[in-house]
Structure 1
């Protein structure tokens, strides 16, 4: 995932039997939903699935001036850094950072993504262990995760995203911001009433 402050905005997700099977779909959806306009700095564990998917998805036609179909070339602005944990006896004793594609990221840590995984487990009963609240249908699972991610991105201010501002009420010095505010999708923190009454286009599965 991107390591800037806006990376806390969840762009795409997928679920399946294994991470190797869903990684290509996440990479494809991420580029599609960012208008396929530029590469992003990716960070992952040591799985080869991300390397293969990024090299396939982030290729653009490179005109050569010759007849025929132009070759596909990997974008120069996309990168992949892998942080691989080294374990001894089940305990983590070190982390190896690998620059697989492009330039290395400044902070090769998955702390924000792992924290989000913890948030999802905390808020969704279907993800907790020893639960009776199973999502027995795919549509139920999709609805649960999408609502939780919307709340995370649009309704919940993140302390790390706050910004200093003047003229705030009650003598406050910082304006709270959500991930959606940080990347310019909205100018305020949404409420549940606004979410439930907002007139939006019919969702089409991509």
Structure 2
């Protein structure tokens, strides 16, 4: 790159935490196309880091909350589906699509499945969008080997539970229901991840989406900074995800160590890192090549 590294890091830091591109262009006298190219490159790298660090099948996720939000782009409405672990506040995966499609939900659920420890207890909390339940039951299955010839039968995880929060448009009514699994075990996972006052809700992922709208101007519903391309918005999203998971500590995750409070990132709470990263550490993180790479 033809620009000093310190300038690149400063510009990307501002972009991660919500500074609009026109402000960057005016302040640093950098061409808008150059800024867009930096977002593409850094976002693609951040997506690889997210997949390598999070989606390795080693996490006891406990309760996972999932939701979808929409935003306006220069080419129509775009949808973003996200899923997070409540206990660690870890944003596991997200997907941007031009519609609220089965494929969008399937990619998010598939990556959560890859991140989850095999057959570990897991509770999904979603809204009333029926596709979530269908895709969860599709991916969270395991083969039952009987010793007979042929393909083994697939059955849902024994410790899989799904609850739904359906918000009615009339009377401010909220319906909470068990869609799959055991109600007693679901309530137990809620108590473990939310505390004794916890209840069936999607409040944590909704709070996450509010944070994303603050950090990503294109996600703001009433904004003049509409997203231009689906792919670029997704790459900017993953750059923000990396900062959310590994760079910025969360006050709700702080713990007391040797008489002093230590603030942690979701990555630290999930046991993926031992310290908050810097933007420079994120950009310099070396993702190992796939095992099947030549």
Does the pair score TM above 0.5?
Answer: yes
Alpha-carbon RMSD across the aligned residues, in angstroms, is: 2.2
What runs of 5+ residues in structure 2 fail to find an aligned partner? 1-63, 66-84, 191-198
Once the two structures are superposed, residues 107-131 of structure 1 have per-residue CA deviations (whole angstroms, 9 ceiling, x without a partner) of 3111110011111111111112343
Partner residue in 1 for 2:152:
70
What is the total number of aligned residue pairs between the two structures?
A: 194
Cα contact 1:161–1:178 (8 A) shared by 2: yes
Shift of 1:162: 0.7
- For the pair 1:150 / 2:242, whether they are aligned, the reply is yes
Q: Give the Å deviation of 1:193.
A: 2.4
Among 156, 163, 166, the alignment partner of 2:255 is 163
Q: Which protein has the bigger strand share?
A: 2
Q: Which has the higher contact order (CA 8 A, sep 6+)?
A: 2
Contact 2:217 2:225 (8 Å CA) reproduced: yes
- The yes-or-no answer on 1:194 pairing with 2:194 is no
Which consecutive aligned stretches of 4+ in structure 1 deviate over 4 angstroms post-superposition?
A: none
Q: TM-score, normalised by structure 2?
A: 0.60
Q: CA deviation at 1:187?
A: 0.5
CA–CA distance in structure 2, aligned partners of residues 165 and 152 of structure 1 = 23
Matches within 5 A, 1:17-28: 17-21=98-102, 22-28=104-110
Q: Distance in 1 between matches of 2:94 and 2:121?
A: 18
- Give the conservation status (yes or no) of the 8 Å contact 2:246–2:277: yes
The residue number in structure 1 matching 2:45 is: none
Structure 1 residues 69-148: aligned runs within 5 Å: 69-88=151-170, 92=172, 94-103=173-182, 104-105=186-187, 106=190, 107-148=199-240
Of 25-34 and 185-194, more deviation after overlay is shown by 25-34
2:123 matches 1:45:
no
C-alpha change, 1:47 and 1:130, in structure 2 (3 Å) is: closer
Q: Distance in 2 between matches of 1:141 and 1:17?
A: 11
> 2:262 aligned with 1:175, yes or no?
yes
CA contact (8 A) 1:20 1:47 kept: no
